[in-house]
Amino acid sequence: MKIVSSGFRGALTQSSLLFIMNLFIYLFRRFLYAFLVIVGATFMIFLIFNIVVGDPTVVLLGKYATPQAMAALSEELGLNRPWYIQYWDVLKSAFTFDFGYSWNSKQNILKIFQEGGLISLTVTFPAFIIGNALVISVALWMTKYRATLWDRLLVTFCIVMTSISALVYILIGQGVFAYQLGLFPITGYDNGFINCIPYIVLPTIIKVLLHFCYQYRFYRTIMLDEIYQDYVRTARAKGLQEQVVLFKHILKNVMIPIITSLVKDMPSLIFGSVLIENFFGIPGLGNVVINAINCCDFPTIKAATIVSAVLSVLFNILGDMLYTLVDPRIKL
């Protein structure tokens, strides 16, 4: 028994070491890939802001500015340095998140993003959780009623709703539920977890509705493709309840496309919804970016672009790791 037990522990230790080694190699490859992608993305951002946009001093001072004033501003902003030094600052900021200061407000850009990102999350995170839980559950449940009148009506409803601009829903929500019925504030925001609730309910409802309509047909398609698989017929032939077949067997096997869709949407949680934040007066990160564009605040715009690229890369790595958890066939 001792020999068997010792051999078992040895095999377990070897298996654990092999798993840790594979995990380390996988993470090294993924982060090397992420580094190369970030280098390429920051270089493209640098080219766009330094070649396509042109000289920021002309934008800031106007075309009638004197050469002396433009030279002084270039010196102040560090625009007269060699291009490779300027690009090094851009690349370094992608890893340190030290973006400097806003040209418009003179505040630290990272601090602006932290404050605005938290405000955006009060709207986007509840809408993300509720919207995805709702659309996945409904799409899965409606597979029972495929090709019926209710199925066609729901698909038609989503097509019609997605063909209308999001601005229309915002204006209707503000006009009917906020102005006429007085159920919610029209615009504004109040700091604090409890104080902000009246201001985020209507924007959250609108985001959930839009997310449901845009994503329903995608989830419906992957659910319908799955219900014709052999394992579903086998589960039903065994007499399993329909809820068990849907939410245990089918849902488990469609997690890969679900994770892909969720990971794709995650970076937008931080930057919020530009239209909703603008029309509801929510001082989130989406509103910050719009104000930066209106004021030609290039450091803030550049920082937002870099953060978006970095978040996309990191969430893609997270998605790859989640694939291995939901599907054992995928190896690290």
User: What tens digit of pLDDT does each residue of 17-33 get?
Assistant: 776 787 788 888 888 98
Task: Please check the confidence at residue 53 and state whether its pLDDT lies above 70.
Answer: no
DSSP category for residue 66: -
Same domain, yes or no, for 81 and 36? yes
More confident residue, 237 or 204: 204
Task: Please check the confidence at residue 300 and state whether its pLDDT lies above 60.
Answer: yes
Task: Please check the confidence at residue 288 and state whether its pLDDT lies above 60.
Answer: yes
Predicted local distance difference test score (pLDDT) of residue 8: 45
Task: Please check the confidence at residue 173 and state whether its pLDDT lies above 50.
Answer: yes
Final residue in a domain of this structure, among 96, 119, 137: 96
Predicted local distance difference test score (pLDDT) of residue 297: 86
Same domain, yes or no, for 83 and 200? no
Same domain, yes or no, for 145 and 287? yes
Same domain, yes or no, for 72 and 125? no
Indicate whether 255 belongs to any domain: yes
Task: Out of 130-144, 197-211, 235-249, 276-290, pick the least confident.
Answer: 235-249
Predicted local distance difference test score (pLDDT) of residue 159: 94
Same domain, yes or no, for 72 and 138? no
Task: Please check the confidence at residue 188 and state whether its pLDDT lies above 80.
Answer: yes
Predicted local distance difference test score (pLDDT) of residue 332: 59
Final residue in a domain of this structure, among 48, 67, 96: 96
Same domain, yes or no, for 221 and 255? yes
**150: number of Cβ within 10 Å:** 11
More confident residue, 225 or 130: 130
Task: Out of 58-72, 174-188, 280-294, pick the least confident.
Answer: 58-72
User: Are the C-beta atoms of 299 and 107 separated by less than 8 Å?
Assistant: no
Predicted local distance difference test score (pLDDT) of residue 296: 81
User: Are the C-beta atoms of 273 and 283 separated by less than 8 Å?
Assistant: no
- Confidence grade of residue 2 (pLDDT, cut at 50, 70, 90): very low
* Unique residue bearing structure tokens 């070897």: 14
Final residue in a domain of this structure, among 64, 96, 128: 96
pTM: 0.83
Same domain, yes or no, for 316 and 184? yes
Predicted local distance difference test score (pLDDT) of residue 4: 47
Predicted local distance difference test score (pLDDT) of residue 262: 92
- Helix ranges restricted to H, 48-104: 56-61, 67-77, 83-96
As given in the structure block, the two tokens for residue 59 are 């934008």
In sequence order, the β-bridge partners of residue 22 are none
Q: d(Cα 139, Cα 212) in Å, to the nearest integer? A: 10
Same domain, yes or no, for 28 and 151? no
Number of folded domains that form the chain: 2
Same domain, yes or no, for 169 and 89? no
Q: Each residue of 67-119: pLDDT tens digit?
A: 888 888 788 777 788 888 889 999 999 999 999 888 888 899 999 999 999 99
Residue span of the structural domain in which 73 resides: 6-96
Same domain, yes or no, for 38 and 118? no
Q: Which amino acid is at 61?
A: L
Indicate whether 262 belongs to any domain: yes
- CATH number for the domain spanning 236: value is 1.10.3720.10
Task: Out of 57-71, 162-176, 249-263, pick the least confident.
Answer: 57-71
* Mean per-residue pLDDT, 257-272: 87
Axis-axis angle for helices 109-141, 197-227 (nearest 10) = 50
Same domain, yes or no, for 124 and 239? yes
Same domain, yes or no, for 295 and 176? yes
**100 φψ region: left (φ > 0), alpha (ψ -120 to 50), beta (else):** left
Indicate whether 38 belongs to any domain: yes
- Confidence grade of residue 1 (pLDDT, cut at 50, 70, 90): very low
